[in-house]
Structure 1
Amino acid sequence: IPLMIVKALRDEPLPVYGDGMNVRDWIHVQDHCAGVVVALFEGKPGAIYNFGGNHEMPNLDLVKMILNQLGKPESLISFVKDRLGHDRRYAIDSSFAQKELKWKPRQNFKEGLEATIQWYIDNQAWWQPLLERAGRY
């Protein structure tokens, strides 16, 4: 998501694998961090906890949402060859974490995405020098 936002802000092509229909379960960073913290303090040693956002969406739909919020054209989408063996769908079953840790994602996906995009707009003076120092992203 950060890469797509930055590229869109710079009017650069946004690379989308294959036809863009690869599905991912998107989770807001605050929800993921909250899950890790509760697992740290409340989890059982050796237990495996998966944290998902309960918001599956094709990558292409996500990229279009980002472009739409930024008022950028979909012509910035650049379909690139899918990598060999790329999974069509990554699904996360967080039911064990929800049951055992009483954890659940709280951030509304659309609102979280909008806030993330706004953060990148408002904080360009912070992240742009990092990209310049890195030379490539």
Structure 2
Amino acid sequence: MKNLYEGRIKNLHQQLADENKKNSLFTWLRSLSFLLFAWSLYAWFQLDVGRFFWVIPVILIFLFLKLVGISGGIKQRIKLLQQLVTINQTEINYLNRQFEGLDSGESYQDSQHFFAYDLDVFGLN
């Protein structure tokens, strides 16, 4: 069972590395598209580039916004993968009987219930 979780963690780390590469790529693409947008606005207003040049800044701002949306999705995926690594590591710790960091459940104990303490569900036992 432990091998299953270790295999999942290895797979998740590979996926995390891939997503981090994608995140880096889209960060550069976002920066480039914004700089091109800024330059195209400058060229449109300051240089004599033609009256239909306004299409280029519009296309570039839409490209920038699309890249921002894609980057947001990648960041959410990275966060999800990190949480899955944590969950699988917790399961490995549980299988190794390392319960540190897990909630003891004391907040759910009912002192008014007449046999809840006999169940021995809550606590460190």
1 or 2, which has the higher helix percentage?
A: 2
1 or 2, which has the higher strand percentage?
A: 1
Give TM-score scaled by structure 2 length.
0.23
- Of the two, which has the highest radius of gyration? 2
